[in-house]
Structures are given as C-alpha cells and as structure tokens.
Structure 1
Amino acid sequence: MRIGLITGDPGHPVLAATAALLGRRHEVLAVDPAGPADASADVYLLKARTPQALALARELERGGAPVVNSAAATELCQDRVRMAELARGAGLPFAATGDAGRLAELVAPAHPFVVKSRHSRRHDLVARVDDPDRLRELAARWPDEPVVTQPFVPGTGWDQKLWVVDRQVFAARRQSELASGSGKSGPAEDWEPPADRAALALRVGEVFGLDVYGVDLLDGPAEPVIVDVNAFPGIRGRAGAPEALAALALRVAAERGRIPVG
C-alpha cells in the first residue's frame, strides 16, 4: 500500500512518527503541495493548507483518491466567518464572530475584544485589544488584513486545546497569552478533558466533516466557548496520536476499496 503525505514539511514530528509506523509494512511518500497530481497512492493525508495544496487535493479527489481531510473541509476551516456561521447554525457554542473588513477600517466594538485574521494560516493575526492605542498599533502593522472580531472571554486564563484523530481525543491546556496580556503562551500541560468537552470536540468533527482536527476552547460564563477549529493541526507531543493517524489512513483506504480489510 502507498500513503501520500501532502506536506511541505515531511519532517514534522507527528508526520515523521506516523510515516515511521506505516513504513514498517507500507510505502510512504511525501507529496509536494505545489507539484503535479500523482494519483499513485492509495490514500492521502492533507497536512498542507496552501492554495496549491488544496488545488492538488481537489484534483486527486476528482480522480477518486481518498484525501484526509477533504479539500472542502480543510478550506472551510481557513475562513473564520464561514466557520462561525456553520458552527453556530449547528448549535455549537462558537464565539460570536463578526466580519470586520480590513483592519484599518475596523470600527471597534466595546473593549476589550479579540481581533483575528479572517483567513486562518500560520503566523496570522490573533490579538487582544484593550484600548484605541492598541488598535491603532495593530492597524499600522496590518492595515489591509481582512479580520474578524470576537468578544474577549476572560474565563480561567487557560486555553484548552483538544485534538481529534479518527474520534480519538487528545488534549492539553496552557496559560493564555490573551488572558495574561503578556503576548506569550505558557507551556502546554497534560490535561484530561471533562466528558462534556470531549463530546463537544467530537461533535465539531461531525459538523465540519473532519477526521483530523483541533478545537480551541475557553471557559465561558455558562458553558465552554469554541474560539477556533483547525484542520490537521500539529498535535505535538501527544502520545498515541501517530498511531491513531496511521490507523486512520489504513482504515480510509480499506473503506474506499484500496486495500483488503484485515
């Protein structure tokens, strides 16, 4: 069996560990997201989220190849306006998210609030705004950035990170850079999520059509609040995640008739 990893970074820890597990019995190949569509693999794992990677994934899907996550689900998670609309429409407790246009044109809601790049990507904008001076500072640095706003949720000061691989939930928590105002997150700590939060994370996957994803939660006044959903995040340092990812690749290939079951 051949497993294709669509990634610009095949040495990423979770991908490297997954490839090592699969490589004991199968062939694993790194697929350049900007390269041609080589449909020779039995299943593809879509880690990259660039426009080229999404175009490649769509082409592979049109040719009948299974891709995890799908190009459509991955692309949806890059647009925080669409993400919030889908989540709230499905009854998920997603933070109220407003499309604010370009940052330089933002009419600020009540302080404090959180401003984020509308389009989720590496090194995007995520910042707490406490006063007009902070907003002017950000607007000077990111004037043309399309952004969204969310209410600032002080909660307990801890970010709750839940990652799901084929309905297996992994989790950690860390002190929030937004709550502290320091601009730096605390180190990740092992954390066993309560059953309601694990169930909420699984529901997110059902709504968004995702098999590998992350859910960022905060403690709201009455219930947990979802502030972001990420397709195929890093899942660094979570014991069992590479094994779950390897098993998912084999299961999807088997279900699509690419390899024998068992």
Structure 2
Amino acid sequence: MRICLITEAPDHPLLAATADVLTPRHRVEVLDPGAGASAGRPVSDLVGRGALADVYLLKSHTPRALALAASLEERGAPVLNSAASTALCQDRTEMAALALRAGLPFAATRTVATLGQLAAEEPATPLVIKSRHSRRHDLVARADDMACVRDLAKGWPNEPVVVQEFTANSGWDHKLWVIEGRLFAALRRSELSPDGRGPTRPLPIRDLPEGWADLVVRVGEVFALDVYGVDILDAGDGVPLIVDINAFPGIRGQAGAPEALAGLAVRVGSGG
C-alpha cells in the first residue's frame, strides 16, 4: 500500500514514528506542498496525472496544502482529514459558529475586522484575543486591560481577530487528542497563564471529568474529523469550556498514537 504524508516536516515525531510503524509492510511517501511555490508551479504539478497513493495524511495546514488536498479529493483520493474539515478548523470564526450551533460548550466568540478596530471600541476586559485565521506564529494573547489591547494593536493593527471573554481557570489546558475514536490526553501549562507556556503533564483518561471523553468524540462527529485535538478549560467543578479545535495536531509523546494513526491510514487506504 502507498501512504503519502502531505507535510513540510516529515521528521515531525508523530509522522516519523508512524512511518516507522508502516514501512515494514507499506510504502510511505512524502509530498511537500510548498515545493515549487516560489516558481509559481500549480499544486496539480506536485502529483502529476499518474497513479495516486492509496491514502493521504494531511498534516500541513497552509493554503497551498489545502488546495493540494482538495485537488486530490477531486480525483477520488482519500485524504485525512479532508481539505474542507481542515480549512474549517483554520477559521476560528467558522469553527466557533459551528460548535455553538451544534450545542458544544464552546467559548462565546466575537469577530472583529481588525485589532485596531477592537482597540478603538475600548471593550471590557479581560479578554482573550486570537487571530481569526489559525496559522504558524499567529496571535493568541490575553489582554487584562485596555493598555494591553492597545499594545497588541500597535503590532497587529490590521489583523482580523476573534475575541473571547477570559474565563478564570487553573492555568492548565486540558489537551485532548483523538485518532479515529481513540482518546489521548495531557495537561499543559497555558500560554495565557501569567508565567507563560510550561511543561506538559500526563493525564490518564480515567482522571477526566465525567462526560468529557464523550464530548471530545462528539467534536469529531460535528467537524467530520478523524485526527484532531480539542483544548478544554475546566470552568469550575468539571464544567468543560472548549477554546480551540485543531485538525491533525502533533500529539507528541503519547504512547500508542503512532500505532493508532498507522492503523487508521491502512484501514482507509484499503477501503475499509
């Protein structure tokens, strides 16, 4: 079976470990969606018109990678996750709207055209301010007062943003990941905590508050995702508040994750 990784970083720990699981019996290829971009080559040139791989794993979230995935899907290739589902998770406005329509406990989210406009509004604080479009090195910040908002606006004046009220919490994010229904979990010190992002701690699934595991599985159903992550805050007494959903996250350091991803790829690639 031919299994293709759509990524600029095939040495990513999850992908490298998954490839190690697969290669004794399957052919693992890498397709860099950024190849040829500087020369203006269309993404269709990356795969040509020859035989397609049996399944593609979409680890890259760049616009070019999404275009490549959509092109492969049009030709009938299975892509995990789909281009549409991945794109949905890159737009925090659309993500929040779908989650709230589905009745998921997602943080109330407001979209503002630019951060400069938000600063001019002088909103009530504290706030969490994020770039509307999720990408590498995007804006994710806590603003405890208007001075913080204005400072952010100086550096990102034209950035489209989403705004959420800050919810008091322990300062630890519950990082929950799913691969085809199999759940993995960890605690990570939030980048929005006063001391900034800190270490990741193990979190046994049995220690999750009641109902959280089912909630995370439900997220995958709503967003049509097979490999995804959900960031949840404990808003008090085990009440969950979803603050982010990620298509195909890193899932680093989770025993069994590479094997689960390899199994998913083989099942989908074989038409199962």
Q: 38-47 or 20-29, which moves further after superposition? A: 38-47
1:40 Cα deviation from its structure 2 partner: 2.3
**What's the CA shift string for 1:110-133, capped at 9, x where partnerless?**
211100000011111111101111
Pairing partner for 1:156 from 170, 173, 183? 170
Q: What does residue range 164-243 of structure 1 map to in structure 2 within 5 Å? A: 164-178=178-192, 180-182=193-195, 184-192=196-204, 193-221=208-236, 223-243=239-259
Partner of 1:3: 3
Q: CA deviation at 1:157?
A: 2.0
Q: Distance in 1 between matches of 2:190 and 2:80?
A: 30
Query: 1:113: which partner in 2?
Result: 127
Alpha-carbon distance in structure 2 between the residues aligned to 1:163 and 1:242: 12
Aligned to 2:28: 28
Preserved contact between residue 37 and residue 60 of structure 1 (Cα < 8 Å): no
Question: The residue matched to 1:227 in structure 2 has which SS?
Answer: strand
1:254 Cα deviation from its structure 2 partner: 2.0
Contact 1:215 1:226 in 2 (8 A): yes
Describe how 1:25-104 pairs up with structure 2 within 5 A.
Answer: 25-35=25-35, 36-38=45-47, 39-104=51-116
Aligned residues: 254
**Using the alignment, how far apart are the partners of 1:19 and 1:121 within structure 2?**
25
What TM-score do you get using the length of structure 2 for normalisation?
Answer: 0.90
Whole-angstrom CA distance in 2 between matches of 1:194 and 1:31? 40
Q: CA deviation at 1:37?
A: 4.3
Alignment CA distance shift 1:199-1:173 (3 Å): same
Indicate if the aligned counterparts of 2:54 and 2:270 stay in contact, CA closer than 8 A: no
Mean CA deviation greater in 213-222 or 120-129: 213-222
- Following TM superposition, where does structure 1 have runs of at least 4 consecutive aligned residues deviating by more than 6 angstroms? none
Q: How many Å separate the matches in 1 of 2:14 and 2:236? A: 35
How far apart, in 1, do the equivalents of 2:67 and 2:270 lie? 25
Unaligned runs of 5+ in 2: 36-44
Kept in 2, the 8 Å contact 1:3–1:28? The answer is yes
Distance 1:116 1:108, change over 3 A: farther
| Aligned-pair CA distance for 1:185 | 1.1
Q: Which residue of 1 aligns with 2:269?
A: 253
C-alpha displacement of 1:108: 3.9
Deviation larger for 100-109 or 35-44: 35-44
Change (3 A) 1:161 1:108: farther
Amino acid at match of 2:89: C
Equivalent residues of 1:37, 1:59 under 8 A apart: no
Contact persistence 1:113–1:130 (CA under 8 A): yes
Q: Verify the 8 A CA contact 1:128 1:181 in the aligned structure 2.
A: no
- The 3-state SS of whatever aligns with 1:154 is coil
